[in-house]
Chain A
Amino acid sequence: MFDRLPASAGSVAVPAVPLNSWHFLLISVAAVLLMRGLPVGLARKAALAAVNLYFLSLFLWGIYPLAVLFALVVATYGLGELKARCGDRVPRGVWTVVIVVLWCLLFFAKDPNLAGSINPFLAHPLRLVGISYLVFRSIHYIADAECLEGRSLLTFVNYAIFFPTLLAGPIERYERFQVFHDGGDPEAPIEPLPIFHRIANGLVKKYVLADNLLAWSSLSQPPAGQLAPAILWLSVMSLLVILYLDFSGYCDIVIGVAALMGFRLMENFNRPFLATSVQDFWTRWHISLTSIIRDYVFTPLSHFVVYHFRRRWQFPLACGVYFFSMMLIALWHDTTWGFFVFGLLHGAMLVGIQVFRRYGYSRLGPGGKEFWDHSPLVAWSARAMNYAFVSLTMLFWQCGPAESVSILGRMVGWQP
């Protein structure tokens, strides 16, 4: 995923430790034995920190990224403690500024050329794996500090650099992590066989299916303009499935490894191909990311809108918040024109859904609403159209806006 598909958050061209490597297997086995073998206590937590730091060291290039990481972790923990202990005495706006600064750090670090000379990383690009996931965890920790129990520096360090989720998530929440980190497992005991099954599934999905299908469906060899329309349709419509196999396969592996260690991580996918709309899709795809955006961007912004503006302004401004949230999700992946167009299209669709619900759905009679809400024909048509929409819009970040328009034109038989 990190070297074939378009850049996702945190992916960098460093010597990788693939999840299907002997090295990763040895690290995982060591971590599982330590977590399962050591009694609950400081030694177990310290052992986890050692494994996490070792894994992180494989992706660190020099002292500079280490210093940035150290500063981020220490600053986050310190600010979290400050907020938890005396947050009421500090104006809310201060914490809003802190969160905005973290967002800026995220985008500036991912794209050193963003914003020109304003970007502190322009002169000193940062190569730190999983930087955006680290910043997301920092945003969550600071924003929720006063509600987080069991706060400690060691727990936070292990939470921030937990090796199964270091590269690409899922972005777990601190309180869930802390429960398992401190040895508590209020849910049923973890069964190893289903976990091994899940890991095996993940390996097949990612390294057998996704890697080989991606090579076959590549739209760059030969140039897409020379491919027959039918082949183009097949390639474009298969992109989403391939991405799902790659990313969900990765999630299966890391969630499985974490489960063997005694950590139940949140799921990142919930049958996304059953989504009947773009809004439904983003509640089923990369759930840990969209829930972060929902909780720390959409909710506070829309709350501000609804609380402070008159009713007639609330709906259009809330639509603006939907659009902004979607653009953030798109540009988080990469700050390219392709993702910008992707965000525009998905944002417009999200707004369209809100407009339909407010002005269109209410005009359907009882029979119409019943048909719309419960008809299998409507549901499956919506799923097919949603799949097509997401697949076609993916083309823009896969091939860039200009070539995408050319490919789309060729797909419908239009030749300039």
Chain B
Amino acid sequence: MLQDDLQAVFRKVFDDPALVITDDMSAADIEKWDSLAHINLIVEVEKFFGARFKNAEMARLQCIGDLKKLVIKYRPELA
């Protein structure tokens, strides 16, 4: 469920209906994932899951797996 929801957010932000995400993917793996796209992604994830990340938490995201863990931190029921 979390994987599917997160993938839907990624597909919306990067405008790629065929995008498939994995936990070890990062900005280097998606061509349009630059600094601004990263912020758009974070805000979309926050709004979708009803969370508000701290700046320190956003700065520590290295891959999609880290993003998942952060979402679970705010929405433990999704674990």
Contacts and interface: CB of A to CB of B under 8 A. Distances in A.
A307 B35 CA distance: 15
A303 interface: yes
Interface string A279-314: 100000000000000111011101100110000000
A143 B54 CA distance: 9
Interface in B24-79: 31-32, 34-36, 39-40, 42-43, 46, 54-60
B35 A147 contact: no
Contacts of B46: 307
Contacts of A299: 35, 39, 55, 58-59
A146 B54 contact: yes
A100 B60 CA distance: 22
A111 interface: no
A307 B54 contact: no
Interface string A145-183: 111000000000000000000000000000000000000
B44 to A, nearest CB: 9
Interface residues of chain A: helix, strand, loop or mixed (majority): helix
By size class, the interface of chain B is 10 to 19
A300 B52 CA distance: 12
Contacts of A322: 36
Contacts of A318: 36, 39
A294 B35 contact: yes
B55 A300 contact: yes
Contacts of A302: 35-36, 39
Given A303-B42, A306-B40, A307-B43, A147 B56 contact: yes
A144 interface: yes
Given A279-B34, A373-B31, A306 B39 contact: yes
Contacts of A113: none
Nearest to A361: B32
Contacts of B59: 144, 295-296, 299
Nearest to A373: B31
A354 interface: yes
A322 B36 CA distance: 9
A206 B43 CA distance: 44
Contacts of B32: 357
In the complex, which of the residues B31, B32, B39, B40 has the most CB atoms of chain A within 10 Å of its own CB atom? B39
A110 to B, nearest CB: 25
In the complex, which of the residues B32, B35, B40, B58 has the most CB atoms of chain A within 10 Å of its own CB atom? B35
B31 A147 contact: no
Interface in A98-156: 143-147
A299 B61 CA distance: 12
Contacts of A306: 39-40, 43
Nearest to B44: A306
B42 A143 contact: no
A193 to B, nearest CB: 30
Interface string B1-45: 000000000000000000000000000000110111001101100
A103 to B, nearest CB: 15
A1 B42 CA distance: 40
A147 B57 contact: yes
A303 B54 contact: no
A414 to B, nearest CB: 37
B52 to A, nearest CB: 9
Ranked nearest first, the 7 interchain pairs of A and B with the lowest CB-CB distance are A144-B56, A147-B56, A295-B59, A302-B39, A306-B43, A300-B55, A307-B43
26 contacts: A143-B56, A144-B59, A146-B54, A146-B56, A147-B54, A147-B56, A147-B57, A147-B60, A279-B34, A295-B55, A295-B59, A299-B55, A302-B35, A302-B39, A303-B39, A303-B42, A303-B58, A306-B40, A306-B43, A307-B43, A307-B46, A318-B36, A318-B39, A322-B36, A357-B32, A357-B34
Interface of A: 143-147, 279, 294-296, 298-300, 302-303, 306-307, 318, 322, 354, 357, 373
